[in-house]
Structure 1
Amino acid sequence: MNLIVFFLEPLSYDFMVRALATTLIASIVCALLSCWLVLIGWSLMGDAVSHAVLPGVVLAYIVGVPFAVGAVAFGFLAVGLIGLVRDTSRVKEDAAIGIVFTTLFALGLVLISITPSQTDLFHIIFGNLLGVSWADLTQIIVLGAITFTILVIKRRDFTLFAFDPTHAHAIGLNPKLLGAALLGLLALTAVVALQAVGVVLVVAMLIIPGATAYLLTDRFGRMLVIAPVISAMCAGIGLYLSYYLDTASGGMVVLTQGAAFTAVYLFSPRHGLVGQRILARRRRGSLEPSS
């Protein structure tokens, strides 16, 4: 099999074309947002919101409204409940996050189990990348475009909020509003990625690309480019591997991202485990007196 056949054969099927478009959009949008989540330290919050949107998505399906409506509503509900538990009890934030997101996730599972449906709603949990319809793809394109555009336009404000909320407030920005906007975009991004990898693996797409780029550069502007590029490459490679190896598509995409992170973690020139040891040896060698 030559390379042309290798790349074109999967695309001869409409479901693979839709799957490729879906996973590329989801991976790029998730990767872009992941840069701020990693920088702010909201990785666990990303986990919480991505799981907490499940009952909102199911209720939106029951009522017959777009998934994004229910997802955003429950995303903000989760954040509000986390803040309420944290501020009105002795429970710390990490425990509050765990309590809220697991409870809401369990509520979503119960709603799925009692909701009559012609489609398998458990695909929301585990993803159904190869079952994405043209209508689903249209929704993904619209939500992805909205999220991507807002992140790009407001990137300077979000970055200032991430680095120094006090300075952001001093120059007239509203840190609380910026934080709420990021959480709202997180909920929208979760809906986009649900179609690709499901609720369980959304958090991986929201964290791994940003963490990988963080090990490759010290400049945030470059992170915003590196993370989506790596994520998109992993999406394509993972989808093709799933086609030829006959494995779960969403799981393979995330597994490919994990492999990319492992390679960067080990061999990144400045921050990789092996790279740091090589640099340390070179420094020691340069300090030793020549005989």
Structure 2
Amino acid sequence: MLLNNIALFQKIVEKGSLSAAGRELGLSPTTVSERLSALEAHYGIVLLNRTTRAISLTEEGRTLVEGAKHVLGEIEDLETRIRHGAQTLSGLIRVSAPSDLGRTIVSEQINLFLAQHPSISVELLLSDGYIDIVGQGFDMAVRFGTVIDSSLRVRSMGEWRRLVCAAPAYLARHGTPRAPADLKDHNCLVMRFGVNLDNVWRLGPHAMQQIVTVQGDRVANDSALVRQWALDGHGIMFRSELDVGPDIRAGRLVELLAEHAPPPTPIQMLFPPSRAQPRRVRALADQLAARLLQRD
């Protein structure tokens, strides 16, 4: 009964209210409230601050949510192994990825993975901004750059160059920049990451780095849209070779200022802090890492 109440508590937090959790699980509001009270009585603490309009987690409630996700995941894995054998994987995997990479390599690997493991389902959220992996309940996330949150588990998937590039049509109309400073005279396509505008481009190796503040007539918080703008000939962009490599090889984009390329940027998979990780998550992570490390 304790595990059932913990699962109910997790559902309450996910749905944002006792009534919404009850509707999804087919339980009356009274039953939900009684079981939540029983869980709080078991631990002797308050897990949720409740008002007529909203609920919020106490510090103890947050600790329980973070731990419960992994405990319940391990129990689900154990049940699957007992019922269906050690080779069967099942359950939900929640993944966060950058929008462009998520639509291409990550989505491609998820499709292959689900074809091999039909009892698994995947929820993929595409976002180029900051994601609270633990707070939003993700099993894994793919991110470019240095990891700021030292509490997360990190798996490196190599380093990739960031390239300045544009479509041949744009270069035919506006000319080709020959030095980093020339970018100031061009229409640059800028990414926004939350409140941060990625309009300060650092080019060249560390010892000879040149910093250029660019501007243009298009800004977006979606990397796939910025890439499409570049393909359509609207301007110059600064993107990972993971995203634009196929377009450059096909001639749809042209790499610029190659002699001023900055040091490669790491790409990593992030996981919530926990000793135990569901087998289904490890299996998908292994497959995605193998694909990214191919460097084709």
Which structure carries more relative contact order (alpha carbon 8 Å, separation 6+)?
Answer: 1
Q: Which has the higher strand share?
A: 2
Largest Rg, 1 or 2: 2
The verdict on a shared fold, with TM-score over 0.5 as the criterion, is: no
Q: TM-score, normalised by structure 2?
A: 0.20
Give me the TM-score of the superposition, normalised by structure 1: 0.21
More helix by share: 1
